[in-house]
Amino acid sequence: DIQLTQSPSFLSASVGDRVTITCRASQGISSYLAWYQQKPGKAPKLLISAASALQSGVPSRFSGSGSGTEFTLTIASLQPEDFAAYYCQQLITYPITFGQGTRLEIK
Amino acid sequence: QVQLQESGPGLVKPSQTLSLTCTVSGGSISSGSYYWSWIRQPAGKGLDWIGHIDTSGSTNYNPSLKSRVTISLDTSKNQFSLKLSSVTAADTAVYYCARGSRGTYYDSWGQGTLVTVSS
């Protein structure tokens, strides 16, 4: 199985901050990576596909980059509604796997 | 806009079979190139992929669960289903159904349903 390791696992930040979350794959996955946002009690929401393609309706302050084994999700200027958990997911091979998650909390 | 909704018992006894159904509205389950999927999340933990079925009926399961999982399509009802046999407390989780598009990017999700395994 391909393991995805996210860092940090917890992140405390303030409104207006720029934050970056990293996802490292245990082997190369090209650009077959997605990012999801999950708020408490809700289903995950797809933010980014193919490592860097922003989904329709997702604010432009979100961006993704990377390929191979290292990927990043950046939020340019945190808004109150961005405080949530974030997960990366690989889909190059089965079983599909997710990172352990990054919880973004208000400082 | 496709919508998904899980249904099924919220409590299952150990060693029994967990059965959930996902009803899809706003689109046909038998058209397009989609992967109709099940994903679960134990309380306070991350997301675990269970498996999926495509519109042709081909399935793919997580090897960690493969011997216990069956996912099926019911095109007449526009539903797909999950059966997980011989459950234990470790199977307690929120179960989500989801649609995978352009591969397995999950662009539509159900709201999730909590299934507790307990006697």
- The count of CB pairs under 8 A between chains A and B is 51
Tens of pLDDT along A53-99? 999 999 999 999 999 999 999 999 999 999 999 999 999 999 999 99
Distance CA B56, CA B41 (A): 27
Which residue of chain A is at minimal alpha-carbon distance from B44?
Answer: A40
Distance CA A43, CA B109 (A): 6
Partner residues linked to A41 by β-bridges: none
Contacts of B105 in chain A (CB under 8 A): 34, 46, 49-50, 91
Q: How confident is the model at residue B31 (pLDDT cuts 50, 70, 90)?
A: confident
- Exposure of B98 in the CB half-sphere (CA atoms within 13 A): 28
Q: How confident is the model at residue B102 (pLDDT cuts 50, 70, 90)?
A: confident
Percentage of residues in chain B with pLDDT exceeding 70? 100
Any chain B CB within 8 A of the CB of A42?
yes
Percentage of residues in chain A with pLDDT exceeding 70? 100
Q: How many CB atoms lie within 10 A of CB A58?
A: 16
Q: How confident is the model at residue B62 (pLDDT cuts 50, 70, 90)?
A: very high
What distance in Å separates residue A28's CA from the closest CA in chain B?
Answer: 17
- 3-class DSSP assignment, residue B116: strand
